[in-house]
Protein backbone atom coordinates (compact mmCIF):
# COMPACT_ATOMS: atom_id res chain seq x y z
CA UNK A 1 0.00 0.00 0.00
CA UNK A 2 1.28 3.46 -0.82
CA UNK A 3 1.22 6.43 1.55
CA UNK A 4 -1.68 7.80 -0.47
CA UNK A 5 -3.53 4.50 -0.06
CA UNK A 6 -2.94 4.60 3.68
CA UNK A 7 -4.39 8.09 3.91
CA UNK A 8 -7.38 7.07 1.79
CA UNK A 9 -7.94 4.14 4.15
CA UNK A 10 -8.00 6.52 7.12
CA UNK A 11 -10.45 8.77 5.26
CA UNK A 12 -12.69 5.79 4.52
CA UNK A 13 -12.60 4.54 8.11
CA UNK A 14 -13.35 7.98 9.54
CA UNK A 15 -15.99 9.01 7.00
CA UNK A 16 -18.99 7.73 8.94
CA UNK A 17 -18.16 8.48 12.57
CA UNK A 18 -15.63 11.29 12.06
CA UNK A 19 -11.96 11.64 12.78
CA UNK A 20 -12.39 12.53 16.45
CA UNK A 21 -14.56 9.49 17.24
CA UNK A 22 -12.30 7.09 15.35
CA UNK A 23 -9.20 8.54 17.01
CA UNK A 24 -10.72 8.28 20.50
CA UNK A 25 -11.81 4.69 19.81
CA UNK A 26 -8.17 3.83 19.12
CA UNK A 27 -6.70 6.06 21.86
CA UNK A 28 -5.16 8.43 19.34
CA UNK A 29 -5.16 12.19 19.07
CA UNK A 30 -7.60 13.57 16.48
CA UNK A 31 -5.04 16.30 15.74
CA UNK A 32 -2.42 13.68 15.00
CA UNK A 33 -4.76 11.97 12.54
CA UNK A 34 -5.49 15.30 10.85
CA UNK A 35 -1.74 15.92 10.59
CA UNK A 36 -1.29 12.54 8.90
CA UNK A 37 -4.09 13.26 6.45
CA UNK A 38 -2.51 16.65 5.70
CA UNK A 39 0.96 15.13 5.11
CA UNK A 40 2.41 16.99 8.09
CA UNK A 41 3.22 13.75 9.96
CA UNK A 42 3.93 10.14 9.14
CA UNK A 43 1.77 7.46 10.72
CA UNK A 44 3.48 5.91 13.72
CA UNK A 45 3.16 2.46 15.26
CA UNK A 46 -0.07 3.19 17.17
CA UNK A 47 -1.81 4.47 14.05
CA UNK A 48 -0.55 1.53 12.01
CA UNK A 49 -1.76 -0.87 14.73
CA UNK A 50 -5.19 0.74 14.65
CA UNK A 51 -5.26 0.20 10.88
CA UNK A 52 -3.99 -3.37 11.13
CA UNK A 53 -0.91 -2.46 9.11
CA UNK A 54 2.83 -2.63 9.54
CA UNK A 55 5.49 -0.58 7.82
CA UNK A 56 7.89 -2.40 5.54
CA UNK A 57 10.63 -0.86 3.49
CA UNK A 58 11.89 -2.73 0.48
CA UNK A 59 14.68 -2.22 -1.96
CA UNK A 60 14.59 -3.61 -5.45
CA UNK A 61 17.26 -3.84 -8.09
CA UNK A 62 17.04 -1.23 -10.79
CA UNK A 63 15.93 -2.47 -14.18
CA UNK A 64 18.33 -2.52 -17.07
CA UNK A 65 16.01 -0.48 -19.29
CA UNK A 66 14.41 -3.42 -21.06
Q: What share of the chain is helix, strand, coil (3-state, %, to 5)?
A: 50, 0, 50
Q: How far is 59 from 61, CA to CA, in rounded Å?
A: 7
pLDDT of the chain, 66 residues: tens digit per residue:
889 999 999 999 999 999 999 999 999 999 999 999 999 999 999 999 999 999 998 888 888 755
- What pLDDT is attached to residue 63? 82
Any idea where the domains of the chain sit in the sequence?
3-51
- What pLDDT is attached to residue 58? 85
Non-local CB neighbours of 42 within 8 Å, separated by 6+ positions: 36
Q: How far is 6 from 33, CA to CA, in rounded Å?
A: 12
Non-local CB neighbours of 34 within 8 Å, separated by 6+ positions: 19
Amino acid sequence: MTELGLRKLIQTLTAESGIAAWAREHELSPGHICDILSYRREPGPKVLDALGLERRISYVQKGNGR
